[in-house]
Amino acid sequence: MKFKDKIRFVRQNMKKNRMRVFMTILATAIGCAFLILLASVGFGLEKSIISDLTEGRLANEINVYHDKDFNQLNDEDVEILKQIEHVKTVTKRNTLHHEMMFKLEEYESYWPQVYATNFPSEIEAGLELSDGRMPQANDEIIVGYHFNEILTEGNGNEIVYYEEDLIGKTIDLQVIYYDKEEMKQSESFPVKIVGITKQPAPKVKEQFALISEPLLKEIEDFTVEAFLNPEQSNDEDVELNLDKEKTYDDVRIYTNHLENVSGVIEKLNELGYGNYSVTNQLGQINTLFLVIKIGLIFVGTIALLIASIGIFNTMTMSVTERTQDIGIMKAIGAHPSTIKQIFLIESSYIGLIGAFIGTLFAYVISIVINFVTPMIIEALSGNEGATTQDIMLTYIPISLVATSVSISLLVAIFSGWRPAKKATTVDVLKAMRRDI
């Protein structure tokens, strides 16, 4: 008997008992939807947490904090790091700790984040621009995508942000110091903005400025000279800093491939370098969420098992009602396996339609939950800005749908197995005597 004919038989049989089959499909659909929704909470939370963790970071990036003696990293350390196998490049940044401000026309920015870096290694590490080009001269700088948001004009009552194009603009980097009468003075370093970094992930603000290492040296030379002015230099820290070798505040390693991150971390740990990597962190989180998701799927499967009782009942009734038909079919030459397959296809059909409807239910409910949850949080917290971040309580990936459909199908086959087996053992003579 051809598969197509078996399907036709099954559909004819199902049509005979529409209401009963519909109720069984509904029960399966509810079970499947429950399974998907329950597990989707695990997937949703995982996605939210991972996206929070990874925003603004590259997966092949490893931050290195200190050497084995907990000292900041110096050039020698950077060279050692570069020698580690699979390391593509190492970037080193220094934060300018001086009191300073940017001034562009009437717009000012106090206490900006300014980092000195080596641009060629930044390019190699994957620094990308949304506009402009990389610096070529020492007085050329790159600013973060949101830099204009810290350039403001006006007092506290009315603040106006700089909204014109920053590319090509010369901006004053003013370093503040105090003279011998402790009067506030400033030295201006005019720099030209030549590039703006690529737009970061939605929740990340990039308001920094990246200057070249030679410009940092120029600024440092000036500040050291100012501090060393004999009439004001009784600051011990300044003297201490002068004796120290050059170190870096922020050293990052970029591996050539994502799969090499753990190997490089292993080597760093061996060498005693303190480090942090999102990828490494993600590995632990993934394991935790895997356990949570398996647990939720397991609990959800119980709902499907309850639905399977309905399938078993429907199939048993179906076999009982069709005993005479089965007997006649066997009497004229139907193979027992054909009979079994017809009933197994019927229970699988119920399982599959139920899973399909259940998946649709789950998607609709998931969309509603994700739409309503932020509103409820806002209403409960009484704060409009409470949900500026996208909250995803439920997330249904294709893999979850595939898992749920497979479980539904397996449960349906499992439920239909015994009735189908019973159908094959129908006694031809007893079945045919039924209508006499």
Partner 1 sequence: MIQVKELNHQFKIGKKKRETIIPVLKNINLEVSKGEIVTIVGKSGSGKSTLLNLISGYIRPTEGNIFINNQNVSELSEGDWANFRINHLGFIFQSFQLIPSMTAYQNIELPLILKGASEVARKKQTLDMLEMVGLSDYKAFYPSELSGGQQQRVSIARALIVKPPIILADEPTGSLDSENEQELLNFIQKLNQDHNITFLIITHDDQVAKIGHRTIIIKDGKIQGGRSL
DSSP assignment, residue 97? -
27: its two tokens: 């029960």
Give DSSP secondary structure letters for 62-119. Answer: EEEEE-TTSPPEEHHHHHHHHHSTTEEEEEEEEE--S-EEEEETTEEEES--EEEE-H
Which one of 71-79, 147-155, 277-285, 335-343 is the stretch in contact with partner 1 (CB under 8 A)? 335-343
| Cβ contact 153:79 at 8 Å | no
Site string for partner 1, 9-48 (x = CB under 8 A): ---x---x--------------------------------
Amino acid at 102: F
- Phi/psi zone of residue 182: left (φ > 0), alpha (ψ -120 to 50 degrees), beta? left
CB of 420 to partner 1, least distance (A): 15
Residue 80 engages partner 1 in binding (rule: CB under 8 A) = no
Using the minimum distance from each CB to partner 1, give the nearer residue, 8 or 82: 8
In the list 240, 332, 380, 398, the residue contacting partner 1 (rule: CB under 8 A) is 332
- Number of chain residues interacting with partner 1 (CB under 8 A): 23
C-alpha to C-alpha distance for 180 and 175, rounded to whole angstroms: 16
Using the minimum distance from each CB to partner 1, give the nearer residue, 63 or 324: 324
Residue 323 engages partner 1 in binding (rule: CB under 8 A) = no
In the list 335, 381, 388, 402, the residue contacting partner 1 (rule: CB under 8 A) is 335
Residue 182 engages partner 1 in binding (rule: CB under 8 A) = no
Using the minimum distance from each CB to partner 1, give the nearer residue, 57 or 330: 330
| Cβ contact 47:389 at 8 Å | no
Residue 157 engages partner 1 in binding (rule: CB under 8 A) = no
C-alpha to C-alpha distance for 400 and 33, rounded to whole angstroms: 11
Q: How many CA atoms lie within 13 A of 49 on its CB side?
A: 14
CB of 345 to partner 1, least distance (A): 15
- Report the Cα 144 to chain-centroid distance in Å: 23
| Cβ contact 172:188 at 8 Å | yes
**Closest-CA residue to 246 (of 71, 384, 34):** 71
Residue 306 engages partner 1 in binding (rule: CB under 8 A) = no
In the list 331, 364, 367, 368, the residue contacting partner 1 (rule: CB under 8 A) is 331
Site string for partner 1, 99-118 (x = CB under 8 A): --------------------
Q: How many CB atoms lie within 10 A of CB 83?
A: 9
Using the minimum distance from each CB to partner 1, give the nearer residue, 158 or 435: 435
Using the minimum distance from each CB to partner 1, give the nearer residue, 17 or 138: 17
Residue 380 engages partner 1 in binding (rule: CB under 8 A) = no
Using the minimum distance from each CB to partner 1, give the nearer residue, 301 or 424: 424
**Closest-CA residue to 245 (of 412, 77, 360):** 77
Give DSSP secondary structure letters for 13-54. Answer: HHHHTHHHHHHHHHHHHHHHHHHHHHHHHHHHHHHHHHHHHH
Residue 340 engages partner 1 in binding (rule: CB under 8 A) = no
- Provide the pairing of β-strand 129-132 with 184-197: antiparallel
Residue 337 engages partner 1 in binding (rule: CB under 8 A) = yes
CB of 335 to partner 1, least distance (A): 4
Could you list the residues that contact partner 1 (CB under 8 A)? Answer: 1-2, 5, 12, 16, 324-325, 328-338, 428-429, 432, 435-436
